[in-house]
């Protein structure tokens, strides 16, 4: 890709970070932006480039410590290629930092931060839909940064998901029942609430809370999510217990309804 | 629980009942029965303040005569009706419909809906793009607009099928801009009373979950089951004159509508029986049951209704004004606390069942549209409902 060559030639310390599917990720020191990640690859359909465009537009609008800053976006329509330059977050994936979040108070503190961060996009009618340990980076000061809005649902824009698909966009073991069933009208903030519940309870137990071996059945994680079968916490912290109960209901309408309601429960103020 | 008058043909009876007898708490206007310019003439501002206007976009391509006087009715705006045309005009329609409701000082701003005879796969997406999004957006631009109620028609399948039910409740509760819903259960039963305990318990659960989400729930087109529904704490249920106002059917809103439904047998409502008793059953009751009058309620109209020399026909206003009066009184008697209310309703039903037993013990027989056979369903519905919400 011509643009990639031009950009990397200006940068120093260029290193490959990851490669998967149609996308590759580099880290580099950019002369203007400092330490950056460069994501590039091919796009195969109008839908996939539309998703990328939406993610980029959103990140451009956000100026928050909870999200990486966006710097540049280049599309090469002739070759169906794209390139994105973003702030490189100096932190570790949550999946590599779980030891810092074994105590209920630490988990609750993380959830409080994530709710504050997610509320910024919820207020723009955007649902993340892919909250999982790999999409949360923990900085050295403990602050989480939310990444990868690649399958976010923009409620004010046309859906990019085919209605006939059996399953909606999701990481299946970190998905809410309505995502797994591809029930589009049911996607809302409460979808993200459910994902926060899985995340919190996985940190608490040290294993996936819907794991059939742990709950004692012969189903699989996805079936257990669909049926609401999980190992509940055995904590003396009622704020935590009630949070889990209030977000992991199979029916979205039985979960906390609004971000403010969740914030009130967690004892935090939401600031946009 | 409040009572709203569901307007239709001869809605003047509802207005008189409200002003003269103090029956009910407000009104739901039916534009298919009143021209737009007549509203301020027929309903004072004091009445409009406690009432709301149902825009009746149920058949947006079919403007019955009086609907033609509403400039925002879709058929009057769109030359060639199609969903894509509708989407294009949806924001303008929403704006003028909301301004109309605000300028007449109604209690709520109603977001209309359309009727689907067969529920399409993308029904909620359609409703979101032609009604919900435009009305919410335009509402936010109108200063001091009354709070929003979303009209929702619940098809039987959406009550029976857990996934569809869940989808509908989730969709409704996704919008913090809504104060509540104007809920209409699309009733396709042949009997005059609903006798399916599953259906009734699902109605109760539907209302319950909406209330749990902090929404006002105004249930339209209710018959005597409105009393049963009270245990799920709806904000209001309705009373209506003719049968087509006590059970929703789209026929009323089609251009071939003739004003009233066939119903030649006049019936008298009794709160002692939770039933409408045909006047043809009165002679045997009079003859065979001592103190038969105790099975009926006293109202300013009861003397006329129960008098054998009255020439009752189903178009007599006394029949309906009596019902409005009695049912409103029943609603006022309901305890505020829900647990106490449920026990109260259960005891009432038991008493009513005893009353029916008394009738049959005196060898008076009522047909299946007039007997107490719906009440066992009510009891079972309460049991199912209670087991679900624990």
* Tens digits of residue pLDDT in B297-347: 999 999 999 999 998 888 899 999 999 999 999 999 999 999 999 999 999
How do strand A23-30 and strand A34-42 relate by DSSP bridges?
Answer: antiparallel
Instruction: Decide: B219 and B187 in contact? Cβ < 8 Å.
Output: no
* Average per-residue pLDDT for chain A: 92
B279 belongs to a structural domain: yes
Query: Is the pLDDT confidence value at B256 over 70?
Result: no
Q: Which of A186, A226, A261 to mutate to test the interface with B (most CBs of B within 10 A)?
A: A186
Boundary residue ending a domain (B201, B233, B254): B254
Q: How close is the nearest chain A Cα to the Cα of B128, in Å?
A: 9
Residues 6+ apart with CB under 8 A from A88: A27, A34, A35, A36, A37, A68
Q: What is the pLDDT of residue B81?
A: 64
- B239, B351: one domain: no
Residues 6+ apart with CB under 8 A from B339: none
Structural domain containing residue B345: 267-389
- B282, B353: one domain: yes
* A15 in contact with B, Cβ within 8 Å: no
* Tens digits of residue pLDDT in B21-30: 999 999 999 9
Q: Which residues of chain A lie closer than 8 angstroms to B128, CB-CB? A: 185
Domain limits, CATH 1.10.510.10, in chain A: 91-266
B301 belongs to a structural domain: yes
Task: Check CB contact under 8 Å for B209 and A254.
Answer: yes
What CATH number does residue B9 fall under?
3.20.20.80
- A-B C-beta contacts closer than 8 Å: 49
d(CA B376, CA B365): 17
Q: In Å, how far are A62, A125, B48, B236, B248 from B51, measured between CA atoms?
A: 44, 32, 5, 12, 19
Task: Give the total number of structural domains in chain B.
Answer: 2
* Tens digits of residue pLDDT in A153-207: 988 777 776 666 777 788 999 999 999 998 888 999 999 999 999 999 999 999 9
Query: Is the pLDDT confidence value at B79 over 60?
Result: yes
Q: Which residues of chain A lie closer than 8 angstroms to B206, CB-CB? A: none
Q: How close is the nearest chain B Cα to the Cα of A251, in Å?
A: 7
- B222, B318: one domain: no
Tokens of B343: 């026990």
Q: Which of A178, A250, A253 to mutate to test the interface with B (most CBs of B within 10 A)?
A: A253
- B204, B327: one domain: no
Q: What is the pLDDT of residue B50?
A: 98
Q: Which residues of chain B lie closer than 8 angstroms to A178, CB-CB? A: 170
Q: How close is the nearest chain A Cα to the Cα of B379, in Å?
A: 26
Tokens of A209: 């809370």
Q: What is the pLDDT of residue A163?
A: 65
* Tens digits of residue pLDDT in A19-68: 877 789 999 999 999 999 999 998 888 888 888 889 899 999 998 999 99
* A184 in contact with B, Cβ within 8 Å: yes
Task: Check CB contact under 8 Å for A186 and B176.
Answer: no
Q: Which CATH topology does A2-87 take?
A: Phosphorylase Kinase; domain 1 (3.30.200)
d(CA B6, CA A178): 36
For chain B positions 97-156, those within 8 Å of chain A (CB to CB) are 121-122, 124-125, 128, 133
Task: Check CB contact under 8 Å for B169 and A251.
Answer: yes
Boundary residue ending a domain (B196, B222, B254): B254
Beta bridge partners of B26: B4
Of A185, A188, A190, the CB nearest to B124: A185
Of B124, B163, B214, the CB nearest to A257: B214
- B221, B277: one domain: no
* B336 in contact with A, Cβ within 8 Å: no
Mean pLDDT value of segment B220-244: 96
* B91 in contact with A, Cβ within 8 Å: no
d(CA B49, CA B157): 35
Torsion on CA atoms B328, B52, B243, B186, rounded to nearest 10: -120
Instruction: Decide: A235 and A223 in contact? Cβ < 8 Å.
Output: no
d(CA B15, CA B51): 11
* Average per-residue pLDDT for chain B: 93
State the pLDDT confidence band at B262, using cuts at 50, 70 and 90: low
Query: Is the pLDDT confidence value at A147 over 60?
Result: yes
Q: What is the pLDDT of residue B187?
A: 81
DSSP code of B251?
Answer: G
Tokens of B92: 């303008």
Mean pLDDT value of segment A224-236: 97
Task: Check CB contact under 8 Å for A185 and B128.
Answer: yes
DSSP code of B26?
Answer: E
Q: What is the 3-state secondary structure (H, E, C) of chain A?
A: CHHHHHHHHHCEEEEEEEEECCEEEEEEEECCCEEEEEEEEECCCHHHHHHHHHHHHHHHHCCCCCCCCEEEEEEECCCCEEEEEEECCCEEEHHHCHHHHCCHHHHHHHHHHHHHHHHHHHCCCEECCCCCHHHEEEECCCCEEECCCCCCEECCCCCCCCCCCCCCCCCHHHCCHHHHCCCHHHCCHHHHHHHHHHHHHHHHHCCCCCCHHHHCCCCCHHHHHHHCCCCCCCCCCHHHHHHHHHHCCCCHHHCCCCHHHHHHHHCCCCCC
Q: Is B15 exposed, middle or buried, given 0-12, 13-18 or 19+ CB atoms closer than 10 A?
A: middle
Mean pLDDT value of segment A226-236: 97
Max mean pLDDT among A6-10, A42-46, A77-81, B61-65 falls in: A6-10
For chain A positions 107-166, those within 8 Å of chain B (CB to CB) are 156, 159, 163
Q: What is the pLDDT of residue A46?
A: 84
Task: Check CB contact under 8 Å for B209 and A190.
Answer: no
SS3 of B178, please? Answer: strand
Q: What is the pLDDT of residue A208?
A: 97
DSSP code of B294?
Answer: G
B206 belongs to a structural domain: yes
**Order of strands across the sheet that contains A91-93:** A91-93, A136-139, A144-146
B262 belongs to a structural domain: no
B79 belongs to a structural domain: yes
Percent of chain B whose predicted confidence (pLDDT) is above 90? 83
- B201, B60: one domain: yes
Task: Check CB contact under 8 Å for B213 and A253.
Answer: yes
Helix axes A104-122, A238-247, angle to 10 degrees: 40
Give the residue from chain A lying closest to B166, CA to CA: A251
Give the residue from chain A lying closest to B123, CA to CA: A185
Query: Is the pLDDT confidence value at B260 over 70?
Result: no
Give the residue from chain A lying closest to B170, CA to CA: A253
Instruction: Decide: A100 and A138 in contact? Cβ < 8 Å.
Output: yes
Query: Is the pLDDT confidence value at B261 over 70?
Result: no
Boundary residue ending a domain (B199, B223, B254): B254
- State how far Cα B118 lies from the chain centre: 22
Q: Which residues of chain B lie closer than 8 angstroms to A122, CB-CB? A: none
SS3 of B218, please? Answer: strand
Tokens of A165: 């698909």
Instruction: Decide: A168 and A180 in contact? Cβ < 8 Å.
Output: yes
Q: What is the pLDDT of residue A110?
A: 98
d(CA B10, CA B12): 5
Mean pLDDT value of segment B247-261: 66
Nearest to B274 by CA among B201, B194, B341: B194
B17 belongs to a structural domain: yes
The Cβ of residue B376 has, within 10 Å, a number of other Cβ atoms equal to 13
State the pLDDT confidence band at B257, using cuts at 50, 70 and 90: very low
ipTM: 0.83
Q: What is the pLDDT of residue A106?
A: 97
Dihedral sign for Cα atoms in the order B16, B110, B32, B127: negative
Of B125, B133, B173, the CB nearest to A253: B173
Q: Is A152 exposed, middle or buried, given 0-12, 13-18 or 19+ CB atoms closer than 10 A?
A: buried
B259 belongs to a structural domain: no
CATH number of A91-266: 1.10.510.10
Percent of chain A whose predicted confidence (pLDDT) is above 70? 98
- B12, B61: one domain: yes
Q: How close is the nearest chain B Cα to the Cα of A185, in Å?
A: 6
Q: Which residues of chain A lie closer than 8 angstroms to B174, CB-CB? A: 185-186, 188-190, 252
CA atoms within 13 A on the CB side of B359: 27
Query: Is the pLDDT confidence value at B87 over 60?
Result: yes
Q: How close is the nearest chain A Cα to the Cα of B130, in Å?
A: 13
Give the residue from chain A lying closest to B132, CA to CA: A156
Q: What is the pLDDT of residue B263?
A: 58
- B133, B220: one domain: yes
Tokens of A259: 């971000």
Domain limits, CATH 3.30.200.20, in chain A: 2-87
Count of positions (residues) in chain A: 272
CA atoms within 13 A on the CB side of B120: 10
* Tens digits of residue pLDDT in B338-382: 999 999 999 999 999 999 999 999 999 999 999 999 999 999 999
- B192, B116: one domain: yes
Q: How close is the nearest chain B Cα to the Cα of A250, in Å?
A: 10
* B174 in contact with A, Cβ within 8 Å: yes
Query: Is the pLDDT confidence value at A99 over 50?
Result: yes
Task: Check CB contact under 8 Å for B176 and A254.
Answer: no
State the pLDDT confidence band at B267, using cuts at 50, 70 and 90: very high
């Amino acid at each position: 890709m011509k643009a990639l060559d031009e950009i990397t030639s200006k940068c120093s310390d260029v290193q490959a970070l990851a490669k998967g599917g149609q996308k590759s990720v580099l880290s580099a020191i950019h002369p203007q932006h400092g330490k950056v990640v460069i994501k590039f690859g091919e796009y195969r359909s109008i839908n996939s480039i539309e998703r990328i465009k939406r993610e980029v537009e959103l990140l451009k609008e956000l100026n928050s410590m909870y999200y990486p800053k966006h710097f540049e976006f280049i599309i090469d329509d002739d070759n169906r290629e794209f390139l994105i330059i973003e702030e490189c977050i100096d932190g570790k994936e949550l999946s590599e930092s779980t030891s810092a979040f074994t105590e209920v108070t630490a988990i609750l503190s993380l959830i409080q931060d994530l709710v504050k961060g997610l509320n910024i996009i919820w207020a723009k009618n955007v649902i993340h839909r892919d909250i999982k340990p790999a999409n949360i980076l923990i900085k050295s000061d403990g602050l989480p940064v939310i990444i990868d809005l690649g399958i976010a649902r923009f409620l004010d824009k046309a859906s990019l998901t085919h209605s006939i698909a059996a399953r909606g966009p999701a990481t299946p073991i970190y998905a809410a029942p309505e995502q797994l069933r591809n029930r589009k009208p049911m996607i809302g903030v409460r979808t993200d609430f459910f994902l926060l519940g899985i995340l919190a309870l996985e940190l608490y137990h040290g294993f996936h809370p819907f794991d059939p071996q742990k709950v004692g059945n012969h189903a699989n994680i996805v079936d257990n999510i669909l049926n609401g079968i999980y190992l509940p916490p055995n904590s003396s912290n009622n704020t935590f217990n009630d949070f889990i109960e209030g977000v992991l209901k199979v029916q979205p309408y039985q979960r906390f309804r609004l971000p403010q309601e969740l914030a009130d429960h967690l004892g935090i103020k939401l600031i946009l | 629980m409040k009572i709203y008058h569901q307007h239709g043909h001869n809605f003047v009876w509802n207005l008189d009942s409200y002003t003269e007898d103090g029956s009910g708490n407000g009104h739901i206007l039916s534009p298919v029965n009143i021209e737009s310019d007549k509203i301020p003439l027929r309903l004072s501002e004091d009445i409009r303040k406690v009432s709301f206007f149902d825009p009746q976009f149920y058949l947006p391509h079919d403007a019955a005569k009086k609907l033609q006087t509403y400039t925002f009715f879709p058929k009057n705006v769109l030359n060639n009706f199609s969903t894509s045309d509708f989407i294009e005009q949806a924001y303008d329609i929403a704006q003028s419909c909301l301004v109309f409701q605000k300028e007449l000082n109604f209690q709520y701003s109603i977001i209309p809906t359309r009727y689907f005879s067969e529920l399409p796969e993308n029904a909620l997406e359609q409703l979101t793009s032609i009604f919900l999004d435009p009305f919410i957006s335009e509402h936010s631009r109108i200063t001091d607009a009354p709070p929003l109620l979303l009209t929702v028609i619940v098809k039987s399948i959406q009550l029976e099928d857990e996934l569809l039910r869940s989808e509908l409740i989730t969709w409704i509760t996704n919008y913090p801009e809504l104060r509540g819903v104007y809920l209409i259960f699309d009733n396709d039963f042949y009997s005059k009373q609903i006798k399916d305990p599953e259906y009734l318990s699902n109605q109760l659960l539907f209302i319950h979950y909406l209330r749990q989400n902090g929404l006002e729930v105004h249930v339209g087109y209710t018959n005597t089951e409105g009393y049963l529904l009270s245990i799920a704490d709806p904000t209001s249920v309705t009373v209506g004159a003719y049968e087509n106002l006590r059970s929703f059917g789209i026929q009323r809103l089609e251009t071939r509508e003739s004003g009233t439904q066939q119903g030649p047998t006049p019936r008298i409502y009794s709160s002692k029986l939770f039933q409408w008793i045909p006047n043809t059953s009165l002679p045997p009751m009079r003859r065979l049951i001592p103190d038969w009058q105790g099975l009926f309620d006293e109202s300013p109209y009861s003397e006329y209704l129960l008098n054998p020399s009255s020439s009752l026909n189903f178009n007599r206003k006394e029949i309906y004004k009596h019902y409005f009066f009695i049912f409103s009184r029943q609603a006022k008697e309901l305890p505020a606390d829900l647990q106490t209310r449920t026990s109260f309703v259960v005891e009432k039903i038991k008493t009513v069942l005893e009353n029916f037993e008394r009738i049959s013990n005196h060898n008076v027989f009522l047909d299946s549209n007039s007997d107490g056979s719906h009440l066992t369903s009510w009891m079972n519905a309460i049991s199912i409902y209670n087991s679900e919400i624990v």
